[in-house]
Amino acid sequence: MTELELKYGCNPNQKPARIFMDRGALPLKVLNGRPGYINFLDALNAWQLVRELKAATGLPAAASFKHVSPAGAAVAKSLSDTERQMYFVGELELSPIASAYVRARGADRLCSYGDWAALSDVCDEATARYLALEVSDGVIAPGYTAKALEILKTKRKGGYNVVEMDPGYVPKPIEHKDVFGITFEQGRNHLAIREELLENIVTRNTALPEDAKRDMLLALITLKYTQSNSVCYVKDGMTIGVGAGQQSRIHCTRLAGQKADNWWLRQHPKVLSLPFVEGIRRPDRDNAIDVYLSEEAGDLLNNGAWKGTFLLCPEGLSTEQKREWIGQLSGVTLGSDAFFPFGDNVERAHKSGVAYIAQPGGSIRDDHVIATCDKHGIVMAFTGVRLFHH
């Protein structure tokens, strides 16, 4: 048996703590830092996501995890000038795997604060340089270049967590966990999410372009490693809103939709031109943008709370301006880890530009859900597969 002793479990009072294998060596190495219990839960869930996403799309993939659910996930794609500005990249040179992580973190920068990063490919210098700029707890990847490792070892006063994962590791087909001293056993969720799952299109509109297929795969693979109930909005090869762990399906759809709306609002010219004071920290800038887009923005701007953040008090976005800008969002794909019980989920998704939906189907009200899609010209595929993750 091989094991790695941990400082403590989920909380400091939960000792002892360790990760171990009954047989054989652990399929990972800690190259720097001292990852904790929650760090490893994030790392191993995130690694599975990016590994499967790379296998399904053939593209380098990255994820940004917090509390055992993805804040964002993405595949590699060149960034536009607007994306470089909104993700605070500047003129930094980006490799494909670096662009994937920038986009994964950019999905929800507020929630990615202190994240665990996962990379499908070897971490290179460009990715390490970007990670060095952000507040992050650690990273897992199948390998690191010498320069990347050198950079990462200087982060967090030398304590940044760097984990190398064996890309050839295959886990046992049966998994276990204990709850209240009782052991649960189940077969691993080895379902391969491929395009064949998208063939059962049940709406009148059946036009499903290749980009939408890719985004459906991204949504479904993300959901496979998101705490249920969960809904995921995707656009251009990246998640733009993940709603995790909600008891009601509509609340998942609203939460993820609100995040998607905020992602889009961050591209509004007024947001991109906010007059930040020179030298403001990246997290403070993220927080300021979130407040600026919130319902409380007017009060905060009027009472002088902006001082120390902006050079001068910026003009806020009105409700009508927000509504008009969000109305321009289009071509969004939505995935759900279980069936939609009512058409209200489709109505909410439509408000955030959703044009494509992938969900299991199987509700007694499937006809109503399909009719709601048809009303808005949305393409919907029934995958026949539930993706609960607990």
Answer yes or no: is pLDDT of 110 > 80.
yes
Of 157, 176, 190, 390, catalytic: 390
- The per-residue pLDDT for range 284-334, each reduced to its tens digit, is 999 999 999 988 777 767 777 777 888 888 888 999 999 999 999 999 999
- The per-residue pLDDT for range 14-53, each reduced to its tens digit, is 999 999 998 889 999 999 999 999 999 999 999 999 999 9
Give the residue-averaged pLDDT of 71-83: 97
Active site residue 66: yes
Q: What pTM was estimated for this model as a whole?
A: 0.96
- The per-residue pLDDT for range 187-239, each reduced to its tens digit, is 999 999 999 999 999 999 999 999 999 999 999 999 999 999 999 999 999 99
The confidence band for 1, taking pLDDT boundaries of 50, 70 and 90, is low
Of 67, 251, 322, 351, catalytic: 67
Of 32, 39, 45, 66, catalytic: 66
The confidence band for 376, taking pLDDT boundaries of 50, 70 and 90, is very high
The confidence band for 351, taking pLDDT boundaries of 50, 70 and 90, is very high
Domains and CATH numbers, the chain: 2-165 (3.40.140.20), 174-265+326-382 (3.40.140.20), 269-316 (no CATH)
Of 229, 235, 259, 262, catalytic: 229
Active site residue 390: yes
For residue 43, what are its two tokens? Answer: 């790392």
